[in-house]
Amino acid sequence: MYIAQVIVFIIGACIGSFLNVCIYRLPLGQSVVYNPSHCPGCGRRLGVLDLIPLLSYVLLKGRCRYCGEKISARYPLVELVTALLFVAAYQYWGWQWQTVSMWVFFAVLITASVIDYQHKIIPDEIIIVGCVLGIPLVFLFGKLIDGLISFLVAGLFFLFIAVGSKGGMGGGDIKLSALMGLFLGSPGIFVALFSSFLFGGLSGIILMALRRKGMKDALPFGPFMAIGGVMAAFYTDPIIKWYINISGL
C-alpha cells in the first residue's frame, strides 16, 4: 500500500533539499555541486545527520547543532512543498514521462519563485537547466512542437508586457514565462498566465488597500507565475470550463 507514493515523497524531499542549496547559492554565484554545506551562522561543515530532508529540521528543533542559530523555516517548507507536488504529479500521471517532466517543471518553479521573492531576480542558470532537461522530456511525451510554439508565444507576450509596463516586469519574468510555455504547451500556458495575473493583481490590490505597498513597489511576479503554473498543470480543463461559464461565451 502506498509504497510508490512514499518513495516518490522521499525522492521529492531530497530534490527539495537540493533546491534549497540552489536557492541559497545561485544568487551568490556559488557552485551548487562542489562545495559541502555549511551553517550560514557559524560556518561549521554540516554532517549527514544535519542534512536529512525534513527530519533534521524537526530533530534539531529548527536550530544549528553547533551554534544554536535558528534555521530558516524556508528549508523544511521547500522540501515539503517539493515532496507533495512530486506525489501529486505521480498520482495524476502515474509512471510516465509527463510525470518526470512535471517534476522538473515544479522544481524550476519552486527555485525561481523563492529566489525571485527574496532577491527580485531569476538566475539564468535555472532557465538554462529547465530548457536542457525540459526539451528532451517534452519530446518524449510527444508535445515538443506544441511546447516550442508556446515557448515563443509566451516569451513574446511577456516581452510586450515588459516593454509596456516600463520595468514592472523584468527579463527574468520573460524567460520564466517562455519556459512555462515549453512545459505546459497550449492551452495550459494561457491558463497559467491568466491565473498568475489574476493572483498577482488581486494581491497587489489587497496590499495597496492595506497600504503595505505603494504603486511604485513592484511585487516580484515569479511566485504568482509559479502558482499559475502549478494550477495549469493539474486544472487546465476545469479552469477553461469555469471561465467559459462566467464569461457567458
**46 touches Zn ion (CB under 5 A):** no
DSSP-derived 3-state class of residue 38? strand
Terminal Cα-to-Cα distance of the chain (whole angstroms): 45
66 binds Zn ion (CB under 5 A): yes
Q: Could you tell me the three cell numbers for 117?
A: 521573492
Among 11, 27, 41, 141, binds Zn ion (CB under 5 A): 41
Residue 62 is a binding residue for Zn ion (CB under 5 A): no
Q: Is 128 in the site for Zn ion (CB under 5 A)?
A: no
Rounded distance between C-alpha atoms, residue 15 and residue 117, angstroms: 20
Q: Is the dihedral of CA 93, 96, 97, 100 positive or negative?
A: positive
Q: How far apart are CA 58 and CA 20, in angstroms?
A: 16
User: Which of 11, 64, 88, 121 is the binder for Zn ion (CB under 5 A)?
Assistant: 64
59 binds Zn ion (CB under 5 A): no
d(CA 133, CA 61): 36
Please, which residue, 11 or 64, has the CB nearer to Zn ion? Answer: 64
Q: How far apart are CA 23 and CA 208, in angstroms?
A: 28
Q: How far is the CB of 213 from Zn ion (least distance, A)?
A: 34
Least Å distance, CB 68 to Zn ion, is 7
Q: What are phi and psi of 114, to 5 degrees?
A: -70, -40
**Which is nearer to Zn ion, 50 or 79 (by Cβ)?**
50
Q: Does 49 bind Zn ion (CB under 5 A)?
A: no
42 part of the interface to Zn ion, by CB under 5 A: yes
The piece of 10-18, 32-40, 138-146, 230-238 that touches Zn ion (CB under 5 A) is 32-40
Binding residues (CB under 5 A) for Zn ion: these are 39, 41-42, 64, 66-67, 69
